[in-house]
Amino acid sequence: MASTMDMAIIRDLFENTLSAARILERDPQLQTELNEKLPPLYPHQVGRWGQLQEWYRDWDRPDDRHRHLSHLYGVYPGQQITPRKTPRLAAAAAKALEIRGTGDVGFNRAWAVNLWARLGEAERARVDRRDRDATGP
């Protein structure tokens, strides 16, 4: 089964390509093809724990503390999930982030900060000095 991240990346690719083609008034055949291929993509889904599902099927576990957050791509760096445009999915993304935690290592921590910021959670996005590695800045 497809992963949520795969679908989000494909959706971003199709939507961004369509936007560029419309702005540039180019490739009407490609626009038609992409418009036909967007609707069958698996949608973002909310799982039984209220989380944004990582997979098409609800296989997530509430005790899964694995630090990767790839299934939240639609929040950041994508823009498919926002508190204003898709409040239910935004709440599910926040739940998934709460379950997984914000991480304690470089890239994961940076991604979590950006996710909280995109979700409009400024206080959660703030990185406190106490949260940093003793060798960090």
Let me know if 59 is exposed, middle or buried by CB neighbors in 10 A (0-12, 13-18, 19+).
exposed
SS3 (DSSP) at 3:
strand
Beta-strand ranges (E) seen in the chain are: none
Q: How far apart are CA 135 and CA 74, in angstroms?
A: 32
Share of the chain above pLDDT 70, in %: 82
pTM across the whole model? 0.83
Instruction: Give 51-90 pLDDT, tens digit per residue.
Output: 999 998 888 766 766 667 899 999 999 999 999 999 999 9
What residues contact 92, with CB distance under 8 A and at least 6 apart? 44, 46, 47, 50, 51, 52
Residue 9's closest CA among 51, 41, 33? 41
